[in-house]
Structure 1
Amino acid sequence: MLGKTSMQREGLLAAMRYNPALRQNSMILFGLNALYVGFGVVMGVVNGGMPTVMRAQGIDIATAGWIYLLYLPFGLTFLWAPVIDRIRLPFLSRRLGWIVTMQGIAVLGIAVVAFNEGASPLALFVFGFGIVVAIATMDIALDALAVQVISPDWRSVASATKLAALSVGTMLGGGVFVALSGVLGWQTTFLILAGLLGLLLCPVLALRGLDDPRFNPRVASENSGGASLMRLLRTPVLRMRLFLLTVACCIMFPLVGLNRLMLVDIGVPIGEIGWIVGTLGPLSMLVTSAVSIPLMRYMGLVRSMLVFAALAFVALLAMAYGFSFENHLVAIVGAVAIGAGVSGIYVILATKIIGWSAGTQPATDYAAYYGISRFGSTLMTVAAAQVVPLVNWGLFYAAGAAALFAMVFLLLTLIGRND
């Protein structure tokens, strides 16, 4: 077995040596996904950890739900994305200048937080908001770089590996980071996070030449001086894409974002939620990213989406059953599976978004597709947290299953297009 594995590894290395396109695309994905890991870490801390800790401390669901507002900058990036397309910073390249600057600001902000444990909650919230804005802005430039340097035949692989990178980051931020913060202490935990984000910046610097119009025709065709969100909104086809994508996200993400609160309500210990859901959830997304590549290749985007939608539907039934009968195991399995199902659907959507954004204003278009849908889904998650106490988790998941069923029909035409 070891000999066979060694031969496979040597064969892959030989293929990369004699296939420049494979070597270049592998280098591109490595550089991009290193930063997506860091992005996932920050998202995991904001989205997966704090609401759960607050709920475990006895704070009601509605109050805990307001912490998701810290997630809003991720959904508002479309407001300043045209600036990223229009302005080039006076160092590195058009995209890398923004990436390095914003990641550096985030690292500095986290280091400041590490040495201010006793600061007021308002001050810490302001620092946290600034860090999230910097990371979100870095993500705009990173996505624009991805649109420009990823070749069309690698888009499905890129969207799947992006999910894998985000899953690893979410596992670190929403699982390991939260579970170990009490052991390591405030200062050490945040300094480790700052160091990790700094380290993950290094691989993308090797892509500088690919972000140069002298070597990349797609960069040369950019007309970023007139980048505008209204350019996208004026086109009926693009508006319809954006509308359907936003509706889909508003249905999917509340079903994923609130499941840990449900587990607290049925008595699952906070440690189990942090280690089991916080770890197995992202691991299930890693499996999804690996499975989605051959699925999309051999079954196509539409059939692949139906497979993941079926998984999400079964997961909702499991969570409703687990809540109704206070069955911890079934509820946890459902909480993990819903993340895998929704992630699979989003990989397929992301594959389309890369192609949709390959125009003259990639940062603006990509941020609009991701940001507006993310903004809408964040508000819907906050609203859902206010609604759950008025009904119950069983009815919430039943309504979610019906909405998911309707969403699939809405997306069939959008995903089936060849544009």
Structure 2
Amino acid sequence: MSNLNTCVAGDQTPAIRRRHGLVLAGINALYVGFGMVMGVVNGGLPTVMRAQGIDISTAGWLYLLYLPFGLTFLWAPLIDRVRLPFLSRRVGWIVSMQLLAVLGLVVVAFNEGAAPLALFALGFAIVVAIATMDIALDALAVRLVAPDWRSTASATKLAALAGGSMIGGGVFIALAGDLGWQTTFLILGAVLVLLVCPVLVLGKQEGLAEDIRDTGNVQAGASLLRLLRDRSSCIRLVLLTVACCIMFPLVGLNRLMLVDIGVPVAEIGWIVGTLGPVSMLATSAASVALMRYLGLVHAMLVFACLAFGALVAMVIGYHLESHLIAIVGAVAIGAGVSGIYVALATKILGWAAGDQPATDYAAYYGISRFASTLMTVAATQIVPLVTWGLFYGAGAIALIVTVLFLFTLLGKND
């Protein structure tokens, strides 16, 4: 493929490093904003509502706001097929969707007393815009990041998401009551506007990276079916989806468990909402070195051991009602699963480096995310029947099975 990814392997000249530094800065600024929205949806709203007395099964339905992140594969072909009449192909989509999300946040800010269904609809629209921006951003990363830089790109993406999550899932929880509804959402919108600015300088680089085929019949024929007809791609997709359905509910519900054993919401916001992303930042730094010196598979095994230990800690913390042990487990499980997913994301960047990067990336990332979101919602309905101890105990066993799946997936040199 005749794009910038055809740089000679191992080429680490100052010009190449500067170019990739610029690319990663622009891309990761937007991943920070994406992480902020994810933090609010995944860690903020359910935790606050659970603390206000809403039962687990009802609070669990708020995770449906996460669904658009997993449904982008349905409209991702449009990003490959259609070029908006401004900026470059994917940067145009990124900017327009980010600004649409900001507009939605402004509307929400001035409608605090609106009906819950109306607010849910506004929230859903904002998430759809951010999710569409994200898949265009992922396609841009596939185009601009050379093979030798994929592990670094995956690790820095995790760091950016962690930073955003720290704001959305930590600071949001801790300060929402003090700042007030309107101020909180206006600040969130203003930050998203600032974070879109660095990507504006990448339009020229994307233009240089595009193939002649990008404006031809291949782009016009972008389709999810093209990926699903390929046997190897289907096997990857199935294994990835199974792994995410096992891992993500174990991470997504840990704050609800902390509320149930009596940990104050402010403490969850400041400690878990801050240390969780900090541990992910440490994971992003460690994963690059581990993948370089141990390889993807063995690096994944290291993080799998960390995740298993975290699940054991959460089981012990729940049964002993020990806030400290449970919090340590809640923080560590995020780091362990994040490390596993850095290895997966490195693979996905390679798998999607074809003629329809937005479509292929959305399929791998979106379908697995969609299925794991439904599994997370289902888990909130199951936990009241089986207790948190049994849930995380079974999760520890399931993690072992997951590692075997991922060992098969990452062990292939494809």
The offset of 1:247, in angstroms, is 0.3
Q: Residue 167 of structure 2: which of 166, 172, 181 is its match?
A: 172
Matched ranges for 1:146-185 at <5 A: 146-185=141-180
Q: CA deviation at 1:221?
A: 4.0
Q: CA deviation at 1:220?
A: 3.2
* Alpha-carbon distance between aligned partners in 2 of 1:226 and 1:18, rounded to the nearest angstrom: 37
Deviation at 1:112? Answer: 1.1
CA–CA distance in 2 between the matches of 1:279 and 1:327?
20
Residue equivalent to 2:336: 341
Separation in 1, partners of 2:280, 2:341: 11
Partners of 2:260 and 2:182 lie apart in 1 by: 31
Is the 1:148–1:219 contact (alpha carbons within 8 Å) kept by the matching residues of 2? no
Q: Is residue 357 from structure 1 mapped to residue 357 from structure 2 by the alignment?
A: no
Alpha-carbon distance in structure 2 between the residues aligned to 1:162 and 1:108: 25
Is 2:244 the counterpart of 1:249?
A: yes
- Aligned runs of 1:250-329 on 2, under 5 Å? 250-329=245-324
Distance of 1:95 and 1:34 partners within structure 2 = 16
The SS at the match of 1:54 is: helix
Provide structure 1 residue ranges, at least 5 long, that are not aligned to the other structure: 1-16
- SS of structure 2 residue aligned to 1:414: helix
- TM-score if structure 2 supplies the norm length? 0.95
Partner residue in 2 for 1:4: none
Give matches, 1:366-381, under 5 Å: 366-381=361-376
Indicate which of 41, 50, 63 corresponds to 2:45: 50
- Report the alpha carbon displacement of residue 282 of structure 1 after superposing the two structures with TM: 0.6
Aligned partner of 2:7 in structure 1 is none
Partner of residue 194, structure 2: 199
Aligned residue in 1 for 2:204: 209
Match of 2:111 among 102, 116, 123: 116
The match for 2:63 is 68
Mapped pair 1:93 → 2:88 = yes
Map of 1:13 onto structure 2: none
**Partner of 2:196: helix, strand, or coil?**
coil
Is this contact kept in 2: 1:175–1:279, CA < 8 A? yes
Q: Which residue among 218, 225, 231 is the counterpart of 2:226?
A: 231
Contact 2:173 2:266 in 1 (8 A): no
The C-alpha deviation readout for 1:352-407, integer Å capped at 9, x for no partner, is 00000000100000000010000000000000111111111111111101110011
Matched, 1:137 2:132: yes
Within 5 A, what are the aligned runs for 1:23-42? 23-42=18-37
* Contact residue 31 and residue 164 of structure 2 kept, 8 A: yes
Q: 1:18 to 1:147 in 2, by over 3 A?
A: closer
Residue type of the alignment partner of 1:357: A
One-letter amino acid matched to 1:378: T
**AA matched with 1:385:** T
Q: State the shift of 1:238 in Å.
A: 0.4
- Write out the 4+ residue segments of structure 1 that deviate beyond 3 Å after TM superposition: 218-222
Specify the SS of the correspondent of 1:201. Answer: helix
1:189 is the counterpart of 2:184: yes
Quote the Cα distance in structure 1 between the aligned partners of 2:413 and 2:213.
Answer: 23
How many positions carry a matched residue from both structures?
400
TM-score (norm 1): 0.94
Q: Residue 212 of structure 2 is aligned with which of 203, 217, 220?
A: 220
Distance in 2 (CA, whole Å) between partners of 1:220 and 1:122 is 46
* 1:248-306 Cα deviation digits (max 9, x unpaired): 00000000000111111111111111110011001100000000000000010010000
1:176 CA displacement: 0.4
